[in-house]
Structure 1
């Protein structure tokens, strides 16, 4: 497993993709034809579920279907893995989010994360966003990790792809091949609300697992190599290269 840094998370949360039940669930999902077959056959789009999960305030089971417009809440020690259209999500424990409706029930236009954390892989599509209390990310087709800390500070990693990232007045274009990470600050730090971060609390393998459900390899799988996981977003170490949130302040 690739090296990762933990901040306020336990190692067990990082290893969900290695568990026998998760591997079996993903294998069964793919064997049945994946998202397209589930939609065509009106089957559940839940790939894996563990523990107490609420869907629109009601106890959820593997037979339920997550649609855009729904609200999800996971309890302690719980998790939810589901696919909507060409987007796959792993919702970690103690999380609360809203899945915003796009043009159809199977198109995610907005993911609003209120508490907790979610790993997401999106296929290419127009006009999709992730919103937290202090940060907004415009998605163009990418793999990302998003977490809202207990103090409402938001963490966002563009693991690969292109994302428009903003925190109120601060904004930047994030182009990443290997984990470009940001903090959405509650209060300005040195005049900034969008600041550089290290890569924390998620692994390459989580993104690879979700991408496999969509038939979408990660940037490092395509390149055949791993990069420097320092939060700057590049495959190679680039001495002197600034993080995009560390450049001149926006005017």
Structure 2
């Protein structure tokens, strides 16, 4: 990986898909039928847990089930990969999130992030959001990378890896339509009069998004189009963010 694509993150955080333990876990997850089979058989929906994490304030075990309404915290050097319904999530180290309940027990309506970073893939559905202290993103079927930086007054980084997303930061709003990575900062304080500003590609890779999509039987937009991007997270297509309307 080209190091200039990493900002405040370590290589092993974005190379988790290459670990033998995860590849074995993902293969077993798929062989056992994925989320649908796990739900029907009342098995765990955790694909892999590495290190320490809390579920609703108590230590999380790999045999447990993450449900909508749950609060998740990951410790230093830890990560968690799990699936709910047609969506899959990779929660990186030092993250605090809540997966809020939608119309049914197995539908996530809001991914609420207080700190940390999450890569996520969402199947088609209505009335779903990713919410950080500085950003609200209305999502449909899409792939995302979201990062919250408490050391920068909770400034948020958001990449629409593919899909259509309605972004709001304070009074700034825009619609992002992407087939291959379109990124933004949601600022804690206005920058050049804006709270929502274009960003470069940092801290996540194609491979991460592709792997999560595969866990829930999906393909990314670039896979479906047969236009695969580079695997090192460095060579994203030219950024063409839509004009920001306030």
Give the TM-score normalised by structure 2. Answer: 0.93
Q: 2:20 maps to which residue? A: 20
Q: CA deviation at 1:12?
A: 1.1
Are 1:61 and 2:61 matched, yes or no?
yes
Q: CA deviation at 1:57?
A: 0.3
Q: CA deviation at 1:243?
A: 2.2
Aligned positions of 1:46-125 closer than 5 A: 46-125=46-125
User: Distance in 2 between the 1:243 and 1:159 partners?
Assistant: 12
Q: CA deviation at 1:226?
A: 3.5
Q: In structure 2, do the counterparts of structure 1 residues 123 and 249 end up closer, same or farther at CA, with 3 Å as the change threshold?
A: closer
Q: After the TM superposition, list the runs of 4 or more consecutive aligned residues in structure 1 that deviate by more than 4 angstroms.
A: 1-4
Contact 2:172–2:244 under 8 Å retained in 1: no
Contact 2:143–2:163 under 8 Å retained in 1: yes
Contact 2:182–2:240 under 8 Å retained in 1: no
Q: 1:159 maps to which residue? A: 161
Contact 2:196–2:244 under 8 Å retained in 1: no
Gaps of 5+ in 2: none
Q: 1:196 maps to which residue? A: 198
Aligned positions of 1:220-239 closer than 5 A: 220-226=222-228, 237=238
Q: 1:243 maps to which residue? A: 241
Contact 1:192–1:249 under 8 Å retained in 2: no
Q: Per-residue CA shift, 1:110-143, capped at 9, x if unaligned?
A: 0001000000000000110000010011011100
Q: Secondary structure at the match of 1:99?
A: strand
Are 1:209 and 2:223 matched, yes or no?
no
> For 1:184, which of 183, 186, 210 is the aligned residue?
186
Give the TM-score normalised by structure 1. Answer: 0.91
Contact 1:130–1:137 under 8 Å retained in 2: yes
Contact 1:14–1:202 under 8 Å retained in 2: yes
Gaps of 5+ in 1: none
Contact 1:2–1:205 under 8 Å retained in 2: no
User: Distance in 2 between the 1:249 and 1:128 partners?
Assistant: 22
Q: CA deviation at 1:242?
A: 4.8
Deviates more, 1:4-13 or 1:204-213: 4-13
Number of aligned residues: 241
User: Distance in 1 between the 2:244 and 2:73 partners?
Assistant: 39
User: Distance in 2 between the 1:167 and 1:93 partners?
Assistant: 25
Contact 1:4–1:203 under 8 Å retained in 2: no
Q: 1:134 maps to which residue? A: 134
Q: Secondary structure at the match of 1:29?
A: helix
Q: Secondary structure at the match of 2:141?
A: strand
Contact 1:4–1:201 under 8 Å retained in 2: no
When the two chains are superposed, the root-mean-square deviation of aligned CA atoms in Å is 2.0
